[in-house]
Amino acid sequence: MGHRLLAAYQGSWYKTLNLTGEYAMQLRITLLTAALLTSGTSFAATQYYGGMYQCKSPGYLNLAVSEGKPANVDLWYYLVEEDSYYHLKGEAEWGKNGGEFRDGSIGLRVKDNKATWLGWDGKVNEDCTPFTLSARKPPLEEAQALLDLLKTAGTDATGVRSVAEAETAVPPADMLPELDRTATKQAIDQARSDYWARAFADRRQKVTTMPITGDGKDYLSTVQPLLNADMGPRGLFRRYDNSAAAQKYENALIAYRLAITGLDPMLARRSTKELCDRLNMFSGWYANTSERLQIATGIPFAFWTRDIAQETIDQLRNCKQGDAADWIVDNFPTITQAADTYQAIIPKIKEMLALPDDHDTLVKTGGLTLDKTLREQYKLKNDDIDLMSGGALGQKRETIKNKISGDIPAIIDKALAEQEYRSQYKLCEELFEQTGMRDLVQQCAEIAPAHMAQAALNKAIANADSINSIAAAREADWLQLPRVNNASDEAIAKAEAALEPARERIAKLILSDIDAKIAASPDSALSSDACPDAYRVPDTIQRAFDSCVARVRAHNSAVAEAKCQTTIAASGAKDIAENRIRLYSWRKGGEVEVNIEQTHLRLGYAYYHWKIRLVEQ
Contact 263, 215 (CB under 8 A): yes
Contacts of 146 (CB under 8 A, 6+ apart): 166, 167, 170, 188, 191
Q: Give the residue, 507 or 615, on which the prediction is more confident.
A: 507
CA 453/CA 367 separation, integer angstroms = 29
Q: Which of 89-103, 166-180, 382-396 has the lowest mean pLDDT?
A: 89-103
Tell me the sheet residues that pair with 64.
48, 74
DSSP letter string over 19-65? --GGG-S--EEEEEHHHHS-TT----SEEEEEEEEESSSEEEEEEEE
Question: Which pLDDT belongs to residue 579?
Answer: 57
Q: Calculate mean pLDDT across residues 108-117.
A: 84
Kindly indicate the confidence band of residue 589, based on its pLDDT and cuts at 50, 70 and 90.
Answer: low
DSSP letter string over 392-460? HHHHHHHHHHHHHHHHHHHHHHHHHHHS--S-HHHHHHHHHGGGT-HHHHHHHHHHHHHHHHHHHHHHH
Give the pLDDT confidence of 247-259 residue by residue, as tens digits. Answer: 889 999 999 999 9
CA 14/CA 59 separation, integer angstroms = 13
Contact 305, 266 (CB under 8 A): no
- Flag whether pLDDT at 207 surpasses 80: yes
Cα-Cα end-to-end distance for the chain: 156
Contact 141, 147 (CB under 8 A): no
Q: Calculate mean pLDDT across residues 435-454.
A: 86
Question: Which pLDDT belongs to residue 574?
Answer: 61
**C-alpha separations of 91 from 27, 119, 128 in Å:** 7, 20, 24
Share of the chain above pLDDT 90, in %: 49
Q: What are the structural domain ranges in the chain?
A: 21-136, 373-464, 472-565, 574-615
Q: Calculate mean pLDDT across residues 441-448.
A: 89
Most confident of 134-148, 282-296, 394-408: 134-148
10 Å Cβ neighbour count for 444?
26
Q: Which of 101-110, 220-229, 476-485 has the lowest mean pLDDT?
A: 101-110
CA 101/CA 118 separation, integer angstroms = 9
3-state helix, strand, coil in the chain (%, to 5): 55, 15, 30
CA 303/CA 258 separation, integer angstroms = 11
Give the pLDDT confidence of 348-376 residue by residue, as tens digits. Answer: 999 999 999 998 898 889 889 999 999 99
Give the pLDDT confidence of 122-140 residue by residue, as tens digits. Answer: 889 999 999 999 989 999 9
Q: Calculate mean pLDDT across residues 271-300.
A: 83
Q: Give the residue, 207 or 582, on which the prediction is more confident.
A: 207
Kindly indicate the confidence band of residue 262, based on its pLDDT and cuts at 50, 70 and 90.
Answer: very high
Q: Which of 48-62, 147-161, 580-594 has the lowest mean pLDDT?
A: 580-594
Q: Which of 171-175, 238-242, 325-329, 427-431 has the lowest mean pLDDT?
A: 238-242
Question: Which pLDDT belongs to residue 582?
Answer: 53
Of 611, 605, 518, 525, give the one whose Cα is nearest residue 567.
Answer: 605
CATH of domain 21-136: 2.40.128
Q: Where are the alpha helices (DSSP H) in 354-391?
A: 359-365, 372-378, 382-388
CA 232 to chain centroid, in Å, comes to 27
Question: Which pLDDT belongs to residue 13?
Answer: 36
- Flag whether pLDDT at 596 surpasses 70: no
> What is the spatial order of strands in the sheet that 114-118 belongs to?
131-132, 114-118, 107-111, 99-102, 28-32, 84-95, 71-79, 58-66, 46-54, 134-136
Q: Which of 116-120, 207-211, 486-490 has the lowest mean pLDDT?
A: 486-490
Kindly indicate the confidence band of residue 610, based on its pLDDT and cuts at 50, 70 and 90.
Answer: very low
Q: Which of 50-54, 61-65, 90-94, 555-559 has the lowest mean pLDDT?
A: 90-94
CA 462/CA 464 separation, integer angstroms = 5
- Flag whether pLDDT at 501 surpasses 80: yes
Q: Calculate mean pLDDT across residues 53-78.
A: 86
Question: Is the entire prediction scored with pTM above 0.85?
Answer: no
Residue/partner pairs of 541-547 with CB below 8 Å, 24 or more apart:
541/473, 541/478, 541/479, 541/503, 541/506, 541/507, 541/510, 543/507, 544/506, 544/507, 544/508, 544/510, 544/511, 545/510, 547/510, 547/511
Q: Give the residue, 6 or 280, on which the prediction is more confident.
A: 280
What average pLDDT does the structure give for the chain? 82
